[in-house]
Amino acid sequence: MINYQKGSIAAVTSEEYANSSVDYKLSSAQAYARGYKVSIRNLNSWFGVKQALKNINFDVKENTITSMIGPSGCGKTTLIRCLNRMNEMTPGAAVKGSVYLDDVDIYANGIDPVTIKRRIGMVFQKPNPFPTMSIYDNVAAGLKLNGIRDKKLINEIVEESLRGAALWDEVKGELGKPGSSISGGQQQRLCIARALAMQPEVLLMDEPTSALDPIASAKIEELLNDLKKDLTIIIVTHNMQQAARVSDYTAFMYLGEMVEYGPTKQIFENPQKELTERYISGKFG
C-alpha cells in the first residue's frame, strides 16, 4: 500500500490511512487509550416517531478537526447536538446510545448535562451574541453566570479568549460596545471567544460560516486551524469545499446514517462508497 498521507497537509498518520475506515470494534476504553477524545457508540435519536440518527459509531481523535457533511436533513446537526446533550432540550427529542468524552459516557446515569456543556463548547449557525450585553460581558457571561467573581481572572480570560478567537486587536478599544454592534464575522468570532472562555476540551460548530461572507468565512477557517492545537473540533458544514479545506477527517451522513468516515483527503479524492462519491461530486443532494 502506498503511503497516502505523503502529500496531505492534514494531521493524519499513515497508520490511520492504512486503516482508513475506523475500526468500530474498538471498545470505548481502547479508543480512549489510542488518543480518541470523543467516541460515539450505537447512538440513535428520534424526534417524535421519526428516527433522526440510526446507530452512529465513530471516534474523533484529539486535536483534530472533523467535519460532518451531507444533504439537508441528514442528521448531521442532530448528531453534533447529541454530543453536548443539547439535543434533548428540543421538545420531542429522544436519544439512546453512548457518547464517551475521554472515558466517561456523557449519557450515563448521574451525569449532569450542565457540567457536560462546560467541557464541550458550541458555536451556532447564526452569530448569536447576547443582544443586551457588551463585548466584554458576552465573553465573561459564561464565567460570571457560573458564579466566578474573581475580577482579575475574568479580565485575563476575556482577553485570552478574544485573542484566541483572533478578535482582540479589532475590539480591544471598545470592549464596552454592544456585542451586536460589530460585523457578522466579528460577531461569530465573538461567539467563539465566548465558548473559549469556558476553556472547553471539545468545540462543536454548527455551520458556523453559513451566514458569513467569504472573507469572514476564510478568517474563521484559519482560526479553526489555530484552535486545534488546544481543542478537538467537530464542525457541521453544508459547504463541501470548506470541509475539504479545514478538516482532518470527514464524515458523510445520509438519511440519519453515517455512510462513510475517513481522512478528508481520502473522502474527497477516493471515497469508498458510491453514495459518497455521488454526493460530493454534486450528482445529487
Question: CA–CA separation, 116 vs 86, rounded Å?
Answer: 10
CB of 8 to other proteins, least distance (A): 14
191 binds other proteins (CB under 8 A): yes
CB of 34 to other proteins, least distance (A): 25
The C-alpha cell of 138 is what?
458576552
Please pick, from the candidates 72, 109, 131, 214, the single residue that binds other proteins as defined by CB under 8 A.
131
Query: Which string of x and - marks every residue 63-82 that binds other proteins (by CB under 8 A)?
Result: --------------------
284 binds other proteins (CB under 8 A): no
121 binds other proteins (CB under 8 A): yes
The values of phi and psi at residue 220, to 5°, are: -65, -40
281 binds other proteins (CB under 8 A): yes
Strands of the sheet containing 93-101, edge to edge, are 50-61, 36-47, 93-101, 104-105
Biggest CA–CA distance in the chain, Å, is 58
Any alpha helices (H) in the chain, and if so which ranges? 14-18, 28-33, 76-83, 113-119, 135-144, 151-164, 168-171, 184-196, 214-227, 240-246, 264-269, 274-280
CB of 91 to other proteins, least distance (A): 6
Q: Write down the residue that cell numbers 476575556 correspond to.
A: 158
21 binds other proteins (CB under 8 A): no
Q: Which span (51-59, 60-68, 100-108, 268-276) binds other proteins, by CB under 8 A?
A: 268-276
CB of 129 to other proteins, least distance (A): 8
Strands 50-61 and 36-47: antiparallel
Question: CA–CA separation, 171 vs 207, rounded Å?
Answer: 24
Please pick, from the candidates 244, 246, 253, 259, the single residue that binds other proteins as defined by CB under 8 A.
244
Is the dihedral angle over the CA atoms 119, 58, 92, 69 positive or is it negative?
positive
Question: CA–CA separation, 239 vs 186, rounded Å?
Answer: 20
Q: Which span (49-57, 84-92, 165-173, 255-263) binds other proteins, by CB under 8 A?
A: 84-92
Question: CA–CA separation, 274 vs 216, rounded Å?
Answer: 34
Interface positions, 141-160, toward other proteins (CB under 8 A)? 141-142, 145-146
22 binds other proteins (CB under 8 A): no
CB nearer to other proteins: pick between 56 and 143: 143
Binding residues (CB under 8 A) for other proteins: these are 1-2, 84, 86, 89, 91, 114-119, 121-122, 124-126, 128-133, 141-142, 145-146, 178, 180-181, 191, 194-195, 198, 240-241, 244, 266, 268-271, 276-277, 280-283
